[in-house]
């Protein structure tokens, strides 16, 4: 089970298949099942910086998925405040998944008596908690929360699970024969991410992080943090650690990054229950910051998504080229004659670079190395849209491809507002066009199309400019994909796998999730005649990426 997720819902419904003769007294039985509950409120964020160390606090919108063997406890409270003997810390265990209700129901739970129900008593209320502990018989909800402790060493999945706690906010009364629990995480999760590289063993980070003894809580060491496996030979770079805000309201991280020299950091974070704090250590940039241009947009007024006239108030350096064009980034195949870019990152400011879907840290087509030709509706890695809530962000997290994998350092995806400031403060003129195939992406000289190179220049200072190629977008494949009858295959959302669409228009990812459609994101859509921010781009859609960094974004916070 993904323990740092914010909300889960447990619905307990009447088991109608039983007869009255089968029901032990004193009352009806309640059937228990787990139902998906996406978090759809706008996440709040707090960004702070001390020295070179950036931390980010996020109200995260992940769904919760139970795994076989997960256990919860359910307790009933009588009308006089006493605990029901027939429902005193009853254990329910996750078993086989249930395929009904179009995938909304995850599983059936059985209690320690072998039944999938609890006793329904007139006037009683009920609460649930996770993970189950057999020593909590007779405990009220407040006592369970007060007596919960986190383990110092959480590096194993078992210990991480034991340190977690989800409960309802208060005991809930049935609504007829239904009893619906909304369980919230009572711990705070510290998610430590360093956009690093691996040693050849696939486990050891090339540039390690070390915490000093002045870090607190004292148990928070690198060796005590949990990392899940992403393959038999590799573990994820992100490390997670749970703290109890009622006991540890502040977390302090003191230590160093060990690159060419020791880079010290010290920062304190105020933590709250149910929040994930994604702590991102910047690292030494792979791509020099001098490969960017300040378009001087910090004081340009623009209208945000809420209709307010605002300014960025900080400097944004825009890269001179797209992700996929920096030195060190390679393609599996050489380009065809006259194609833009090259096999090994040529810093070509006109070239498209790679296509990425939102949240993925490898290319839309997996660099062609496996024959895999792109994400679609049915194979998107985050097809439950867990990464961010409505209006949320992946900025400077492990899901921000510009920040997490290729360029490292402070480079990241632009925000929606940074594109809005560009629109308000710049001119968009056609510089040139070029025609190229998909040779370096797909390994075959097919799909030749024409793309536009747009010069984006500051209105007041035209010497400040960048070039941005159009590239259209992809839904599923970079080339049209047809079935045996010659019809385009389905991608989802009513779309077809038609290869690159609208190649003469620029589609660029932002770090912002859509404020209105959970499965969608905000993205920049522009050409020389019109510039728009749209919020209806499917998260699996492949678009281009233009990295940015902001050297003084946090100096006043």
Q: Mean pLDDT check: name the lowest of 46-55, 176-185, 373-382, 438-447.
A: 46-55
Cα–Cα distance for residue pair 73/88, rounded to 1 Å = 9
Query: DSSP per residue over 257-283, as a string?
Result: EESSSEEEEEEEEE--TT-EEEEEE--
Pinpoint the alpha helices (H) of 126-259: 141-146, 157-163
The total of other beta-carbon atoms located within 10 Å of residue 517's CB is: 15
Tell me the average pLDDT of the chain: 78
Categorize the per-residue pLDDT at 95 as very low, low, confident or very high, splitting at 50, 70 and 90.
low
pLDDT value of residue 554: 65
C-beta of residue 372 within 8 angstroms of C-beta of residue 346: no
pLDDT, position 144: 93
* Domains defined for the chain, CATH in brackets: 7-40+60-185 (2.60.40), 188-281 (2.60.40), 289-549 (no CATH)
Q: Above pLDDT 70, what percent of the chain?
A: 79
Strand partners for 444: none
Instruction: Report the distance separating Cα 437 and Cα 450, nearest Å.
Output: 9
| Residues paired with residue 473 on neighbouring β-strands, in sequence order | 501
Most confident of 14-23, 117-126, 274-283, 375-384: 117-126
Which range is least confidently modeled, 125-134, 146-155, 400-409, 429-438?
Answer: 400-409
Q: Is 60 exceeded by the pLDDT of residue 330? A: yes
Residue 237: predicted pLDDT: 73
Element (H, E) at 49: strand 45-50
Question: What is the pTM assigned to this prediction?
Answer: 0.74
pLDDT at residue 204, as a whole number: 74
pLDDT band at 374 (very low <50, low <70, confident <90, very high): low
What tokens were used for 114?
């072998």
Query: Is the separation of the CB atoms in 364 and 478 below 8 Å?
Result: yes
> What per-residue confidence (pLDDT) applies to 428?
98
Contact 376, 492 (CB under 8 A): yes
Mean pLDDT of 181-207: 76
């Amino acid at each position: 089970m993904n323990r740092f997720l914010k909300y889960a819902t447990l619905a307990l419904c009447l088991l109608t298949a039983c007869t009255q003769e089968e029901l032990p007294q004193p009352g009806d039985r309640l059937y228990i099942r787990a139902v998906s509950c996406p978090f759809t409120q706008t996440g709040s964020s707090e960004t702070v910086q001390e020295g070179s160390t950036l931390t980010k606090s996020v109200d995260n919108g992940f769904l919760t998925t139970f795994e076989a063997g997960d256990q919860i406890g359910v307790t009933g409270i009588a009308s006089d405040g006493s605990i029901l003997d027939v429902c005193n810390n009853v254990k329910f265990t996750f078993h086989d998944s249930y395929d009904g209700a179009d995938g909304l129901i995850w599983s059936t739970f059985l209690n320690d008596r072998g039944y999938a129900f609890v006793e329904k008593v007139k006037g009683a209320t009920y609460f649930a908690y996770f993970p189950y502990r057999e020593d909590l018989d007779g405990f009220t909800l407040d006592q369970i929360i007060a007596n919960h402790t986190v383990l110092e060493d959480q590096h194993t999945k078992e210990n991480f699970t034991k340190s977690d706690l989800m409960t309802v906010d208060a005991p809930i009364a049935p609504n007829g024969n239904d009893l619906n629990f909304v369980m919230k995480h009572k711990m705070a999760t510290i998610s430590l991410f360093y956009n690093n590289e691996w040693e050849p063993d696939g486990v050891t980070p090339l540039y390690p992080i070390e915490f000093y003894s002045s870090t607190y809580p004292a148990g928070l060491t690198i060796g005590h943090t949990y990392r899940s496996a992403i393959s038999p030979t590799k573990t994820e770079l992100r490390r997670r650690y749970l703290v109890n805000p009622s006991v540890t309201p502040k977390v302090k991280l003191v230590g160093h990054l060990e690159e060419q020299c020791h880079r010290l950091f010290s920062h304190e974070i105020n933590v709250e229950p149910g929040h994930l704090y994604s702590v991102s250590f910047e690292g030494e940039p792979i791509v020099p910051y001098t490969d960017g241009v300040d378009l001087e947009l910090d004081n340009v007024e623009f209208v945000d998504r809420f209709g307010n006239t605002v300014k960025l108030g900080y400097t944004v350096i825009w890269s001179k080229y797209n992700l996929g064009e920096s030195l060190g980034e390679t393609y599996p195949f050489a380009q065809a004659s006259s194609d833009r870019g090259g096999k090994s990152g040529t810093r070509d400011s006109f070239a498209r670079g790679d296509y990425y879907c939102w949240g993925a840290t490898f290319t839309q087509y997996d660099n062609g190395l496996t024959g895999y030709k792109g994400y679609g509706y049915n194979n998107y890695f985050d097809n439950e849209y867990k990464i961010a809530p409505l209006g949320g962000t992946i900025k400077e997290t492990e899901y921000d491809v510009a920040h997490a994998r290729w360029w490292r350092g402070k480079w990241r995806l632009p925000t929606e507002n940074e594109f809005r400031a560009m629109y308000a403060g710049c001119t968009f003129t056609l510089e040139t066009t070029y025609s190229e195939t998909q040779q370096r992406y797909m390994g075959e000289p097919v799909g030749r199309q024409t793309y536009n190179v747009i010069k984006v220049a500051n209105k007041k200072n035209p010497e400040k400019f960048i070039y941005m190629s159009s590239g259209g977008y992809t839904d599923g494949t970079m080339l049209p994909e047809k079935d045996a009858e010659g019809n385009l295959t389905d991608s989802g959302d009513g779309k077809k796998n038609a290869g690159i669409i609208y190649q003469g228009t620029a589609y660029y990812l932002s770090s912002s999730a859509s404020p209105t459609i959970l499965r969608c994101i905000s993205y920049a859509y522009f050409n020389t005649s019109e510039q728009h921010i749209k919020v209806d781009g499917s998260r699996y859609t492949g678009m281009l990426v233009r990295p940015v960094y902001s050297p003084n974004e946090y100096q006043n916070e």
